[in-house]
Structure 1
């Protein structure tokens, strides 16, 4: 499978990425000079004189790997008053730490596009405010608006995927499960987990989690455009973009990128006591009570003791020594079968 990264705006050169059964390699450069990272890990530099057929090639061995940014130990807090203890935050490291070896150059080009977009945003607001008292600044305002439009249309990182026949099945096994999750009626990002002191007040659950709604889509977000669907998950100010060859993590104007070989993935189902509306595609496997006795019956001392459904949800955990620590929960467990 081959991928060509083409930039329509000159913000850092063009990229060509090739994925085959021998591995992943990519190159970048300008006319007369190109640097290639081969699938074997070597770096090839090619200098040529256009029109003469004269060129010079220098290939060096695999360089020293970058230092891994290990996940920091999780912080645990005792929260006796809220019936919780051993609170565990489930968050990613900053994206600048999440860069697999050999991907720094691709990431640099993406960051330049985001930087220009940010400059245009700041320029639009500043010149608009100043123009109320100094109308001459309207000229700059429209200039920044034009820059904004240019970056949003011509400055996208164009991802063109060409999949070799012998790689189609490999790519499908990697990306289709995540694409299927986007079809789920409800998706959440698990941000925190807690152990419970008294299960009576947790509907009988020994653990509780804090979750936030997550938007799942097959569209690629800015600053990308692609000729193939991507599994994109948006939760708050963080976006995860699953492409056939890599995972991009976007935090506001910061971007990280990881090879799938650097990610550990765990998929399983979990019983979840649902206090909100049950999604239409969820499977209800039982019921409990908001305040439950040890025998499973309702504690009649509480007037608002309503019955709650127990749903079977899917869960995907993504971890990496580079700082990735994400847990996605989704309502339809059949889509990954």
Structure 2
């Protein structure tokens, strides 16, 4: 009995980025299907080949008590600090990359269904071969057992091919840098590596002003924040020789910084692609009234009292009034016009400052013109 199979179209997408002084050119697709966009516009060329195949966050260290700012300058604060829905944030010129990722995901899903069907067919063929010998007709009519063995061999080969296709269902990110741009990107990666070693990294999720006089406090702003992790980590959907700069997000989708875009990733269906040129990064510092333990890599730049008078002296009406250190923490804010709104603090101010400077330097160099 012949084992039937049919042809299915499969396009495994890829993304090629070319970084030069004239800007970034991007092509999306593989042989037979590609999309190109850059300064001069967007172009689509298709000629689809056929591939023959057989039948087919973790949050950590949540602060349960509010933390306190003591800013040198007044800052603008929103009650809750979080980004818009990821479906609203994708940059217009990054839509092609998002579609490539979705296509790879869909291919993987379909191929996994195929694989299950082929494995079931293989199991059935093996059972038929066993029965042919148990019931003796496979020994009498040798052509029957021969056909079954041929089917088993073909099914095993298709399982191997399908498994390989599943392993290749990802967006291949190929990058070509001008030497000057590569040097700046390497500096950014090094600065980020240092930033990840900060003893404490916090995602600021809420902030509001308080009446310092009424509270008898030196702090003008109360914030809520959570411990998060920064690291080098890449998405399963994207493979590249360059790992992404990973920003954990305590109250939303995590951020993955690639050389020309950011993936804001909640899950396989809910993610956004944001062009690096659209990111507004603000790096500064905060004077933080630290009621807990000062991180080992932070600097104490001043002291205050748990209860203070308007002029900063200790309020003697409160028994057991004690001094509180004021630490200097680094701060990074990320904004876009489409709705990205994230704020982080770091115990190591020097590493924060270095990262902010190298990020802006790299961003300016590769920004679309």
TM-score (norm: length of structure 2)? 0.62
Residue in 1 aligned with 2:93?
102
Cα distance per residue 1:232-259 (max 9 Å; x no partner): 1112352111222111111244111111
Of 258, 262, 265, the residue aligned with 1:247 is: 262
Question: Structure 1 residues 280-289 or 34-43, which shifts more?
Answer: 34-43
Structure 1 position 186 matched with structure 2 position 214: no
For residues 123-163 of structure 1, the C-alpha deviation after alignment (integer angstroms, 9 at most, x for no partner) is xxxxxxxxxxxxxxxxxxxxxxxxxx999965444434332
Work out whether residues 200 and 294 of structure 1, in 8 Å CA contact, stay in contact via their aligned partners in 2.
no
Residue correspondence of structure 1 range 43-122 to structure 2 within 5 A: 43=43, 45=45, 88-111=79-102
CA distance in 1, matches of 2:172, 2:196: 22
Larger Rg: 2
In structure 2, the residue matched to 1:322 is 338
Q: Which residue number in structure 1 is paired with residue 138 of structure 2?
A: none
Q: 1 or 2, which has the higher strand percentage?
A: 1
Tell me, in whole angstroms, the C-alpha distance in 2 between the residues paired with 1:156 and 1:182.
27
Gaps of 5+ in 2: 1-9, 51-76, 112-162, 355-369
Q: Report the counterpart of residue 196 of structure 1 in structure 2.
A: 210
Q: CA deviation at 1:117?
A: 8.7
When you count helix as a share of all residues, which structure comes out higher? 2
**In the alignment, is the contact (CA less than 8 A) between 1:270 and 1:315 conserved in 2?**
yes
Residues 173, 321 of structure 1: alpha-carbon distance in 2 compared, 3 angstrom cutoff: farther
The more displaced of 258-267 and 167-176 is 167-176
Query: What runs of 5+ residues in structure 1 fail to find an aligned partner?
Result: 1-9, 51-85, 121-148
Question: Do the aligned residues in 1 keep the contact of 2:26 with 2:36 (CA within 8 Å)?
Answer: yes
Change (3 A) 1:12 1:105: farther
Secondary structure of the corresponding residue to residue 26 of structure 1: strand
C-alpha distance 239-305 of structure 1, shift in aligned 2 (>3 A): farther
Q: Calculate the aligned-residue CA RMSD, in Å.
A: 3.4
Alignment correspondent of 1:13: 13
The count of aligned residue pairs is 265
CA 1:286–1:249 in 2, change beyond 3 Å: closer, same or farther? same
The answer to whether residue 277 in structure 2 is matched with residue 277 in structure 1 is: no
Question: Structure 1 114/180 Cα, relative in aligned 2: closer, same or farther at 3 Å?
Answer: farther
Corresponding residue SS for 1:298: coil
- Matching of residue 288 in structure 1 with residue 304 in structure 2: yes
Q: Separation in 1 of the partners of 2:342 and 2:48?
A: 46
**Aligned-residue offset at 1:231:** 1.9
CA distance in structure 2 between the aligned counterparts of 1:97 and 1:247, rounded to whole angstroms: 14
Q: Which has the higher contact order (CA 8 A, sep 6+)?
A: 2
Matching residue of 2:22: 22
Partner in structure 2 of residue 167 of structure 1: 181
Distance 1:320 1:20 in 2: 24
Instruction: Confirm or deny that 1:227 pairs with 2:241.
Output: yes
Matched, 1:259 2:280: no
Q: 1:93 to 1:114 in 2, by over 3 A?
A: farther
Equivalence for 1:71: none
